[in-house]
Amino acid sequence: MQRIKMKKSIVYILLLFTCFFSCTDELNQEPTDGRETDETAFQEDPLAAYQEIIAKVYASFILTGQQGPAGNADVSFPDEGFTSYIRQYFKLQEWSTDEGICAWTDPGIPQINENTWGTTNSLVSMIYSRIFFTVSIANDFLRQATPEKLDARGLTASERELVERYSAEARFLRAMAYYHALDLFGNVAPVFETDPEGFFTPERMTRSELFDYVESELLAIEGELLAPRASYGRADQGALWMLLAKLYLNAEVYTGTPRYTESLAQLNKVIQDGGYALADDYSYNFLADNHTSPEIIYPIVSDGELMQNFGGTTFIIAASLGDPISGATAESDFGTNQRWFGHRTRSSLIDKFDDFTGAGDERAIFGFDGFTKDIETPRNYGEGFAVLKYKNRDKMGNPGSNIVFSDVDFPVFRLADAYLMYAECVVRGGAGGDMATATQYINDLRDRAFGVGNPDGNVGQSEIDLDFLIDERARELYWEAHRRQDLIRFGNYTGSTYNWPWKGGSASGTSIPDFRAIYPIPSADLSANPNLIQNPGY
C-alpha cells in the first residue's frame, strides 16, 4: 500500500513538471510594441521595410535617434543633441580652423577651438562613433538585401530593382562615412557587411589602404546609382563624382600620391554632365527652400516638422545667434526662437573680405553690429563676428515650417565647390582642364558675389594661384565643413606658415605640431580593438 502511494506522489510530481517543461517555450519572447524582428519587419510590405531602413542610413547623417527631436538615441553620449553626425563633422572641420570658434565650455570644445585635443576628446569620440554607426546600419541594409533574401521576400521585379539601387546607395553612404574617417582619422578598422555580426575585432587599415578601398567601392557602384538630379536628396551619380573628385583632390595628403588628373575627370563629369547651375543668388543655397537651388549636388535634407533634431542646420543657425542679436530679430530674420550663444568666426575669415559688411562681396554675411571682430576670451559670445549665411527663411522671406527646427538642407557638395576644385586641380598641374576655363568658373562665382556687371570681383588668369584659391575657398565655402581639409591640403594647417587667432591656444595664434593634421583614434575604441594603433603623436 505504501508503495502505491509513493508511486502516486511521484506521478503527481512528474505531471506537474511535464507541464512546466512545456512552459519553457515561453522563454522565447518578442516585443509587442512595433519593434520588429528580422522576419516580421519584411513580412507585410518588404519594399516599405527596405525604404525605411535606407531612409535611416540617410537620416543617420543628421538625426540623432528614432524619436524626434530627441529620444531613443543612436549612440550613447551625455547630450543626445550633440551627437548629430553633421553637427560634429562641422565642428571638427570648422572650429579647429581660422573660420570658426565656439563660446561653449562643454567638454572637448575649448580643446577643438585651440587645437589641444587629446585621445578622449568627446567631440572627436562622437564623430568617430557616428561614422561607424552609419557604417553599421549601411552594413545591416546590405545584409538584408542579399540576392537570397531578396528572392525569399517575394518582391516584384520593379521593387527588386529599387532595392538593388538602394543597396548601391547604402554603399555610397558607407563610402562617404569612410571618406570622413579617412580625412579625420586616417588609420581605422573598417567593418563590412561580409564580416560577422556582433563582437569581433576588425583589422586595421592604413590611411592609403582605406583610400584604395573607398576609391574602388565608389568606382564599383557608379553605374548602379541614379542619374544626377533624378531625385533630390538621393545619393546619385553627381554625388558620387563629387566624392571621387574630393578623394583624388586630397590623395596626396591621404596617400602621398597626387591624383589631380583623376580629380579633374570627375569634376568635368559633374560640371558638364550633371546639369547643375549656380543659384541666382549666393544666399539661396543656405535658406529654408534651398532644395530648389540648382547648385546643390548633394544635400543632407532637413525639415523642421518631419525631421526634428538639434544637429544639422538647426544647430548651425541657433548656435550662431545670441545677444546682440535679439530674440525678436532671431525670429524675424532667421526664422527661429532659438539663440544658443555659441559659435562665431575669427578675424582671419573676416580679413579675407575687403568689405565684411557684404556691400561689395555679397558672400560676406556676418553679424557685426554690437560684436567685436577680435576675440579676447573665446568663451564670450559677443567677441568675434556672427556668421549668418544660414537662415531658416525662404527666398521670399517666409519663415521655415517650425520656429525651433530648421528647414535648411545642409549643402554637402555644391557646384561652386566643383568650380574651385577644378581651378585648383589645374593650378596643381592636373590634366584635363585649362586655366581659361578655370578663370571663367571663378569669375562666374565672383560675378554672382559682387553682382553681375560689377567688375570689382573679376580676377585675371594670372591672379589665380594657390594662395588666391585657399582664400577664395574660404570666401565662397566658409562654414560648409571643408575648411580643415582645405588648410591641410594647402599646407596651412599645422606648423606656423599660417596662424590664425587662438590657433594652438594663443590669442595671436601659434604653431601646432604636424601630428594634429589627423585626429587621434578615440581611446575608447583603442581599448576595445587591439588591432588599432594610435595615430603618431598622440
Partner 1 sequence: MRIIFTLLVLGSTLLPHSALAQTFSLQGTVYDENSDPLIGATVRGPNQAAITDTNGAFVLEGVNVNDVLTISFIGYEDVSYTVNAGDNNIQLTLGVLATNLEDVVVIGYGTVEKSDATGAVESITSKDFNKGPIVSATSLIQGKSAGVSVAAPSGQPGSGSIVRVRGLSSISNTSDPLYIVDGVPLDRQNGPAGSRNPLNFINPQDIESINILKDASATAIYGSRASAGVIIITTKGGSDRLTVEYSANVQQQRPIENINVLGADDFRNLVTQEGTADQVAFLGNSNTNWQDQIWQNAIGTEHNLSVSGKLLKDIDMPFRASVGYSNLDGILQTGNFERLTGSLNVRPSFLGGALKVNANARFARENNQFANGSAIGEALTADPTQSVFSEDPIYEAYGGYYHPTSPGSSEPLFIGNPVASLNLVDNTGNVNQFVGNIQTNYELPWVKGLSANLNLALETADGENFNYSSPFLSIDNIEGGGGGFSEKTNQTMEYYMLYRPELGESPVTNFDIQGGYSYQNFEFGGGSQNIDVNSGTIIQSIPNSSTINLQAFFGRANIELFDKFLLTGTIRRDGTSRFIEENRWGNFPSVAGAWKLINENFLEDSQVFSDLKLRASWGITGNQEVGGAYPSFALYQTSNDQANYIFDDGTFGILRADPYNNNLKWEETETINLGLDFGLLSDRITGSFELYQRDITDLLNQTNFPAGTITTNRFDANIANMETKGVELNLSGYAIDREDLSLRLGINTTVQDIEVTQLNAVPNQDFVDDNYGNIGFGQNGQGLSVGYTPFSYYTFRQVYDSNGNPIENLFVDLNNDGIINDEDRFINESPFADILFNFNNELIWKNFSLNTVWRASYGNFAMNNINATFGNYNALFGQQDEPKNIVDNVLVTDFTETNNEILRSDYYVQDASFVKLDNITAGYNLSDLFNNDKLNLSINGSVQNVLVLTDYDGIDPEIGIDNVTYLRPRIFLFGVNATY
Determine which residue in the list 46, 100, 110, 384 makes contact with partner 1, applying CB under 8 A.
110
CB of 282 to partner 1, least distance (A): 24
Select 64 or 439, whichever has its Cβ closest to partner 1: 64
Asked if 290 interacts with partner 1 (CB under 8 A), we say: no
Kindly indicate which of the ranges 31-39, 245-253, 430-438, 485-493 contains the residues binding partner 1, using the contact rule CB under 8 A. Answer: 31-39
For 18, residues 6+ apart whose C-beta sits below 8 A from its C-beta are none
Select 125 or 237, whichever has its Cβ closest to partner 1: 125
Task: Look at residues 138, 143, 142, 130 and name the one whose alpha carbon lies nearest to residue 89.
Answer: 130
Strands 410-414, 101-102: pairing is: unpaired
Kindly indicate which of the ranges 198-206, 276-284, 344-352, 491-499 contains the residues binding partner 1, using the contact rule CB under 8 A. Answer: 198-206
CB of 326 to partner 1, least distance (A): 8
For 262, residues 6+ apart whose C-beta sits below 8 A from its C-beta are 244, 248, 251
Kindly indicate which of the ranges 231-239, 246-254, 266-274, 413-421 contains the residues binding partner 1, using the contact rule CB under 8 A. Answer: 231-239
For 513, residues 6+ apart whose C-beta sits below 8 A from its C-beta are 494, 537
Binding marks (x or -) toward partner 1, 418..437, rule CB under 8 A?
A: --------------------
Select 133 or 468, whichever has its Cβ closest to partner 1: 133
All cell numbers assigned to 248: 583624388
Select 42 or 450, whichever has its Cβ closest to partner 1: 42
Asked if 194 interacts with partner 1 (CB under 8 A), we say: no
For 409, residues 6+ apart whose C-beta sits below 8 A from its C-beta are 290, 291, 296, 299, 300, 301, 302, 313
Coil/strand/helix, residue 114:
coil
How far, in Å, are 296, 437, 465, 475 from residue 425 at the CA level?
21, 12, 11, 19
Determine which residue in the list 45, 151, 195, 463 makes contact with partner 1, applying CB under 8 A.
195
Kindly indicate which of the ranges 152-160, 267-275, 460-468, 520-528 contains the residues binding partner 1, using the contact rule CB under 8 A. Answer: 520-528
CB of 358 to partner 1, least distance (A): 27
Q: What is the DSSP string of 219-250?
A: HHHGGGSPPTTSSTTS--HHHHHHHHHHHHHT
Asked if 533 interacts with partner 1 (CB under 8 A), we say: no
Coil/strand/helix, residue 285:
helix
Site for partner 1 in 53-92 (CB under 8 A): 53, 55-56, 58-59, 63, 65-69, 71-72, 74-79, 82
Asked if 328 interacts with partner 1 (CB under 8 A), we say: yes
CB of 67 to partner 1, least distance (A): 5
CB of 43 to partner 1, least distance (A): 12
Q: What angle do CA 423, 425, 428 make, to 5 degrees?
A: 110
Asked if 9 interacts with partner 1 (CB under 8 A), we say: yes
Site for partner 1 in 33-52 (CB under 8 A): 33-38, 41, 49, 51-52
Kindly indicate which of the ranges 137-145, 207-215, 260-268, 432-440 contains the residues binding partner 1, using the contact rule CB under 8 A. Answer: 137-145
CB of 122 to partner 1, least distance (A): 7
Kindly indicate which of the ranges 247-255, 306-314, 458-466, 482-490 contains the residues binding partner 1, using the contact rule CB under 8 A. Answer: 306-314
Site for partner 1 in 153-192 (CB under 8 A): 188-191
Asked if 24 interacts with partner 1 (CB under 8 A), we say: yes
Select 199 or 359, whichever has its Cβ closest to partner 1: 199
Beta strands in 265-405 (DSSP E): 296-300, 343-344, 366-367, 386-387
Select 96 or 266, whichever has its Cβ closest to partner 1: 96
CB of 318 to partner 1, least distance (A): 11
Task: Look at residues 92, 78, 83, 74 and name the one whose alpha carbon lies nearest to residue 133.
Answer: 74
All cell numbers assigned to 236: 546619385
Q: Which helix (H) or strand (E) holds 524?
A: helix 523-528
Select 257 or 329, whichever has its Cβ closest to partner 1: 329
Contact in structure between 251 and 377 (CB atoms under 8 Å)? no
Question: Cell 535658406 identifies what position?
Answer: 287
Asked if 350 interacts with partner 1 (CB under 8 A), we say: no
Cα–Cα distance measured from residue 80 to residue 316, given in angstroms and rounded to the nearest whole number: 16
Gap between the terminal Cα atoms of the chain: 84
Task: Look at residues 364, 345, 317, 290 and name the one whose alpha carbon lies nearest to residue 86.
Answer: 317
CB of 488 to partner 1, least distance (A): 21
